[in-house]
């Protein structure tokens, strides 16, 4: 069984991991790093499955039911903003101290490792410095904000953004019509998870709402910020992605006049409604919005984030 079969667009990474498995040169620790939604976690699961099932072929049912005794997933608790030290010292360390129950390895995935608190990262470092021989720890991170000492003790594998063809083929394999797959691939902008957000929604209706919010914010009236923030609550992540895309497309088309350079052709129709945007303001807003968008994964109030993002858009559109 090829556990990597469903991984899209990360052939270099998959090839490296398959060679390690075939030669039995598996690292004690890996760091998978790259943009959100490009297959890092799926690849981590695939590697963990390959290691465990190679050791324990009869354990496939346990893996399928997500109860294999030699696998652990560490992730941020729903009511927390970071992965805390207690998750490392009270859960991970005692579990790793036990020898494998069925397989020859104990495999841990730390999902969203960029959310490790400083005390948690320091506690993890002790395990990485002197891991049990049977241990494989896979850290999955969207950002390289980890301690250098943690990074240096892992085999680093970088994941790249996906191209439109990879995302199109993913949706076509699911039986989606070509036109819809093309649109979702463009909206995904290199991320399958972003494209899936749009696939699950009536995105045309949301696009119309996002376009109306952009026009309202372009008036410069401060009360439109709060109106936009409330309307974004319908689906904040999808709405922010659409608002970003519209702003980017207006700016790019104003600068180049090239319809091939914009994500959605329909955004070209909006360009005539806006005065020429200021490059510095747009780039600053895009950077800030990208940073703020990441906070939706935490426990930060989404309406507060919507307000801050709306202010950034208001400023960029003046």
User: Considering the entire predicted model, what is its pTM?
Assistant: 0.84
Contact 238, 197 (CB under 8 A): yes
- CA–CA separation, 180 vs 168, rounded Å? 9
| Architecture of the domain made up of 11-158 | 3-Layer(aba) Sandwich (3.40)
Helix then strand then coil, % of the chain, to nearest 5:
60, 10, 30
Contact 81, 87 (CB under 8 A): no
Contact 117, 83 (CB under 8 A): yes
**Residue 299: predicted pLDDT:** 63
Give the pLDDT of the chain (318 residues) as one tens digit per residue.
688 988 999 999 999 999 999 999 999 999 999 988 899 999 999 999 999 999 999 999 999 999 999 999 999 988 888 999 999 999 999 999 999 999 999 999 999 999 999 999 999 999 999 999 999 999 999 988 899 999 999 999 999 999 989 999 888 888 888 888 888 888 888 888 888 888 877 778 888 999 999 999 999 999 999 999 999 998 898 899 899 999 999 999 888 888 888 888 788 888 778 888 999 999 999 999 988 988 887 667 899 999 999 999 999 998
- CA–CA separation, 187 vs 198, rounded Å? 8
- Cα 101–chain centre separation: 32
- CA–CA separation, 223 vs 233, rounded Å? 16
- Cα 97–chain centre separation: 31
Which CATH fold topology does 201-316 show?
A: Zinc Finger, Delta Prime; domain 3 (1.20.272)
Contact 245, 189 (CB under 8 A): yes
For residue 155, the surrounding DSSP H or E stretch is strand 155-158
Q: Which ranges in the chain are annotated with CATH 3.40.50.300?
A: 11-158
147 exposure class (CB count in 10 Å sphere: 0-12, 13-18, 19+): middle
Q: Please list the residues that pair with 155 across neighbouring strands.
A: 30
- CA–CA separation, 143 vs 35, rounded Å? 8
Contact 259, 268 (CB under 8 A): yes
Q: Tell me the angle at which helices 203-217 and 223-232 cross, rounded to the nearest 10 degrees.
A: 170
């Amino acid at each position: 069984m090829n556990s990597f079969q469903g991984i899209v667009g990360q052939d270099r990474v998959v090839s490296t991991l398959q060679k390690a498995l075939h030669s039995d040169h598996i690292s004690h620790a890996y760091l998978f790093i790259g943009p959100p939604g490009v297959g890092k976690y799926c690849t981590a699961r695939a590697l963990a499955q390959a290691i465990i099932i190679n050791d324990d072929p009869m354990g496939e049912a346990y893996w399928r039911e997500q109860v294999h005794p030699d696998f652990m997933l560490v992730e941020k608790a729903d009511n927390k903003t970071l992965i805390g030290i207690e998750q490392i010292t009270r859960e991970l360390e005692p579990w790793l101290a036990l020898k494998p129950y069925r397989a020859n390895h104990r495999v841990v995935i730390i999902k969203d490792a960029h959310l490790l608190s400083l005390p948690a990262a320091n506690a993890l470092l002790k395990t990485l410095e002197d891991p049990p021989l049977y241990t494989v720890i896979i850290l999955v991170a969207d950002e390289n904000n980890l301690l250098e000492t943690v990074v240096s003790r892992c085999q680093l594998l970088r994941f790249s953004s996906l191209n439109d063809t990879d995302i199109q083929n993913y949706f076509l394999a699911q039986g989606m019509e070509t036109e819809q797959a093309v649109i979702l691939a463009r909206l995904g902008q290199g991320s399958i998870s972003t494209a899936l957000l749009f696939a699950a929604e009536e995105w045309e209706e949301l696009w119309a709402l996002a376009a109306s919010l952009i026009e309202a914010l372009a008036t410069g009236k401060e009360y439109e910020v709060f109106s936009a923030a409330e309307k974004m609550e319908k689906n904040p992540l999808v709405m922010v992605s659409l608002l970003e895309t519209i702003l980017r497309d207006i700016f790019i088309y104003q600068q180049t006049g090239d319809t091939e350079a914009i994500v959605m052709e329909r955004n070209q129709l909006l360009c005539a409604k806006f005065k020429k945007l200021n490059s510095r303001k747009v780039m600053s807003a895009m950077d800030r919005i990208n940073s703020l968008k990441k906070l939706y994964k935490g426990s930060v109030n989404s309406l507060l984030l919507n307000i801050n993002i709306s202010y950034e858009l208001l400023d960029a559109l003046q």
